[in-house]
Amino acid sequence: MPFSDYKTALVTGASSGIGAATVERLCREGLQVHALARSAAGLDALAARTGCIPHAMDVTDLEGITRLAQEVPFDVLVNNAGVDRPGSILKADAAGIDALVDVNLRAVLHLVRLVVPGMVARDRGHVVNISSIAGHYHFGGNTTYHATKSAVHMLSRQLRIDVFGKRVRVTEICPGRVATDIFAHVHGDSEEIRQRFIEGFELPQANDIADAIAFAIAAPIAVNVGLMEIMPTLQVPGGLSTARPEAPQA
């Protein structure tokens, strides 16, 4: 459905990175964009730059997002907010698991529950879920993140079945490495982290992901772009490793 058929959008994790770029892109298309994130300062700067409507709240604030969904009939929902904790499940702690499940999955489920019935009733709407290649491929570390993003992938597929027969479209955007500040959030903001993940690489920028989201939304009503996997040209997912067994314990 063309942008002209949509009026309102909600973007989570909107204060920086892909979220902020998406807010900017949707505002340029003439939508009234509600930007939700924890950083009030980041949202204020974004609102001054784009004219978006800021909502400084945690995406896990069920009372807050419920109130917002009841006040505004959203035509576009972009579930972008996400957190990560490095390490395998062997090194995970309870707080880290709960944080990832709460933000990456539970909040997404609640927002879909709150927003999509209105889309179905109006026979128009578009849900964009930002997952990750970690939800499609297995590689070392970040086990809980893999699990939550895999759940978002399946939710995106299942949601298409739930809204079948209505002009409600669902798009999963599945990024690989993108030049954003997520690595600093996960590993700490240091020169070593920037060199490890960003500097010297040819990476997609946040606005490249926002442009992909806009492409999916702008498609004709008869077209549902279900899944876009967006990675650097010089990155491949997956891999195959084989280990020899350890020597028996004495």
Instruction: Name residues whose C-beta falls within 8 Å of residue 99's C-beta, 6 or more positions apart in sequence.
Output: 83, 85
User: CA-to-CA distance for 166 and 95, rounded, in angstroms?
Assistant: 39
Rounded (10°) angle between helices 107-122 and 62-71: 10
Reading the block at residue 238, the tokens are 């997956």
Angle between helices 17-28 and 206-218 (to 10 degrees): 40
The residue annotated as part of the active site, out of 6, 74, 145, 197, is 145
CA distances from 137 to 60, 63, 90, 122, 193 (A): 27, 34, 19, 36, 23
Positions of E strands within 196-240: 227-230
Give the integer Cα–Cα distance in Å for 28 and 20. Answer: 12
CB 182 within 8 A of CB 84: yes
- 137 has catalytic annotation: no
Catalytic positions, written as ranges: 145
